[in-house]
A = this chain, B = another copy of it.
Amino acid sequence: MRWSLVVPALAALAIGGWPQDGLTSHPSLLLTAADVADITATMQESPGFMRSLERTRARVDRYFATEPDVPAPTDAGGGYSHEQHKRNGVAIREAGVVYQLTGARRYADHARSLLLAYADLYPGLGEHPMKKEQTPGRLFWQSLNESVWLVHAIQGYDAIVDTLSGDEKSVIEERLLRPMADFLSVESPQTFDRIHNHGTWAVAAVGMTGYTLGDPSYVETSLYGLNRDGKAGFIRQLDLLLSPDGYYAEGPYYQRYALMPLVVFARSIENNDPELKIFEYRDGLLLKAIYACIELSYGGLFFPINDAIREKGLDTVELRHGVAIAYALTGDPRLLSVARRQESYVLTGDGFEAALTADRGEAEPYEHRSVLLRDGPAGKQGGLAVLRNGAGPGHQALVFKATAQGMGHGHFDKLHWIFYDNGNEIVADYGAARFLNIEPKNGGRYLPENESWAKQTVAHNTLVVDGESHFGARLAVGERFHPEVLYFGSEKGVHVAAASMDGAYEGVSFSRTLVLADGVLADGPVVVDVLDVTGSRAGQYDLPVHFKGQVIATSPPLSAMTEKLVPLGSANGYQHLWLRAETEVAAGELFSMTWLAGNRFYTYSIQAEEPLQVLFAELGANDPQINLRREQAVILRMQSAGDSTFVSTLEVHGEYDAAEESTIGSEGSIAAIERFGDGDNELVKIVSRQRGERYLALSYDPDEDLKHAMRIDGREFAWSGFYGLFDQNGPVASNHSN
């Protein structure tokens, strides 16, 4: 075939090349006939792949030990019929694949029986009784689940079709596969033609069905939309859903989910229409998206920004597919260490290649590096900066969220940051208020507290003005604005990102510079956070820091509520916070707080440029269903005349070793912070007990050729580019190691 990525209108002309129905060789999607020949010949060389196959085979054996139920569709997500249909869809695929890889006919029979049962059920179904919002399904409450089901089932059908009689094929295709593909495409145009992950699942399901049934019309609409004009469909989705750096607008949790149909459909396209060179499209966009997913994780778990289930990570089936495909395309041996960590290989040609090479010992460690992932289809709607320091599972990662809103799952958290160290989340994002698929918790759906708490600005580590969330927590407003990335730079020991935001509040703009420096400001890693707020009127500025761990000491001491707790506010998330303790910090004084997390200490310090109120809050107020986790935050509050700056540091220090009963470095090193501005430039003076005086100079101009200077206390600080670092004597080479 000769589809085209760039001139979709011409594509239809090429259909003459399509093989006649029945001549397509099977299987032909993620696992091809050639893969099967290769795998069955050499499987013994990969114990890892054999274990994965064996586990799947055992699972299929257990599943089909009794005839699987095919219930009438009655339940919403998480309910019995919902989960049973999901399981059946997966079982059809797995039984088919196990048949191909073992040759044991009974597995083909298992898949056939289930497919026939669905062919019996499906034609009689109307809209699902629990239909969800605007996109109801038939087998499931929403058509999204139906697309996912078909992506699985079509792979199973593809694997067993050559074992079926003509009658069986006809029944399954005419009563199940075509009606479902039609339902998901021409009968659901609002989803199928939507540039959204639901649309991606739909086009993948329909397109893969097209390849399997040898029906080019399904493939064509999947690639170019129902009108076949390229204004919708897979190619358009690739143009708009991902940024040029492979970042998906909703954030990593949904990026993972969106990745699955993208890569499995792309692999199916590659196997059937290699001339399309789909993996080369937009400069290798799909590959970038897979790598982006890996970079958007720490300790194997995705950064929990936006609506995110915190337990999700690189071991999900989506990433198992993604990593296997990426390895097949690149041969990058670092991907094999990710694959090994996943502990299971997908049963595809790509999965086998990764398993075989990993088992030959060719894996290399995947060390993350600092990256900026631009957001927006053209990469011009802000971005997500990930600053990484050190190597291995204990390295530091600072995530700076300067992305666009991210559609309905986006949180109102412009210029928010989170921080990891030593394998732990230290400065945290709550993630989503949701217990995925746990029926007693609102049917497993998003909880009311996702709106009232998790999405609100105060649930994040960024500026809250007058107790209100960014954009008044209105999605439509949020989608009209996005941050500008001002700078991103990374060298050994010093990593810097900066961005600015207009439009989150009327009359208030803010910019933020985050520096992760190791061995420069103190002996260990230190984050410097410079948050400049420019306001046209007086206002209350809150800066929350959601920290994880046990408070060890604060200075000045907190005054704790001992006899009564009341909520910190009445709306915009504040109603969920109990005020647990507070203190006041006079202008010019330092507030510092040390906590213990894992076996390390962390000290957050902020110099009060203006009087600061420090509020220590715990989550759980106005939570009648006990839906919220018990988390905590310290909130720095300032009554500002309009223009104010929060300059703070976070130090990583010391070690608590309970097994050895030793504690070292339990106190932070930073004794004072001071900021100077001359209208254009800013200079932050940081006094560390370990390193003495250090200075961070900011020009806010990324041009490395431009020179800047400030004169403070009779001393001249001169640098070029966005920032400079100085010690008592002069510029500090930023290329430090520790």
Interface residues of A (CB under 8 A from B): 78, 83, 86-87, 309, 311-313, 315-317, 435-441, 444, 550-553, 558-560, 562-567, 578, 580-581, 594, 596, 616, 618, 620-626, 629-630, 632, 656, 658-664, 666-667
- Please state if A596 and B550 are interface contacts (CB–CB under 8 Å): no
Q: Which of B552, B578, B658 contacts A440 (CB 8 A)?
A: B552
Q: Measured between alpha carbons, how far is A438 from B78 in the docked complex, in Å?
A: 46
Cβ contacts under 8 Å, A87 to chain B? 662
* Nearest B residue to A658, CB-CB: B311
A376 to chain B minimum Cβ distance, whole angstroms, is 29
Known pairs A309-B658, A580-B620, A629-B550; A439 contacts B562 (CB<8 A):
no
A523 to chain B minimum Cβ distance, whole angstroms, is 15
Main SS class of interface, A: loop
Cβ contacts A to B, 10 pairs, < 8 Å: A438-B656, A438-B663, A440-B553, A440-B667, A441-B552, A444-B663, A551-B626, A560-B626, A564-B566, A630-B630
* Nearest B residue to A663, CB-CB: B437
- Please state if A558 and B626 are interface contacts (CB–CB under 8 Å): yes
Cβ contacts under 8 Å, A661 to chain B? 436-437
A586 to chain B minimum Cβ distance, whole angstroms, is 22
| Extra A-B contacts (8), CB below 8 Å, given A435-B656, A550-B629 | A316-B659, A435-B550, A436-B661, A438-B596, A439-B667, A441-B553, A550-B626, A564-B566
Q: Which of B437, B441, B622 contacts A562 (CB 8 A)?
A: B622
Q: Measured between alpha carbons, how far is A660 from B148 in the docked complex, in Å?
A: 13
Q: Which of B86, B552, B662 contacts A83 (CB 8 A)?
A: B662
- Please state if B317 and A624 are interface contacts (CB–CB under 8 Å): no
* Nearest B residue to A566, CB-CB: B564
- Please state if B552 and A565 are interface contacts (CB–CB under 8 Å): no
Cβ contacts under 8 Å, A312 to chain B? 658-659
* Nearest B residue to A554, CB-CB: B626
A525 to chain B minimum Cβ distance, whole angstroms, is 21
Q: Give the interface centre of A594, A596, A625 by most chain B CB atoms within 10 Å.
A: A625
A70 to chain B minimum Cβ distance, whole angstroms, is 18
* Nearest B residue to A664, CB-CB: B83
Q: Measured between alpha carbons, how far is A686 from B550 in the docked complex, in Å?
A: 41
- Please state if A659 and B626 are interface contacts (CB–CB under 8 Å): no
Q: Measured between alpha carbons, how far is A626 from B593 in the docked complex, in Å?
A: 12
Q: Which of B435, B444, B580, B658 contacts A596 (CB 8 A)?
A: B435
Q: Measured between alpha carbons, how far is A393 from B259 in the docked complex, in Å?
A: 34
Cβ contacts under 8 Å, A552 to chain B? 435, 438, 440-441
* Nearest B residue to A552, CB-CB: B440
Q: Measured between alpha carbons, how far is A616 from B620 in the docked complex, in Å?
A: 13
A512 to chain B minimum Cβ distance, whole angstroms, is 29
Cβ contacts under 8 Å, A621 to chain B? 562-563
- Please state if A623 and B560 are interface contacts (CB–CB under 8 Å): yes
Q: Measured between alpha carbons, how far is A661 from B83 in the docked complex, in Å?
A: 10
A621 to chain B minimum Cβ distance, whole angstroms, is 6
- Please state if A436 and B560 are interface contacts (CB–CB under 8 Å): no
- Please state if A626 and B563 are interface contacts (CB–CB under 8 Å): no
- Please state if B659 and A630 are interface contacts (CB–CB under 8 Å): no
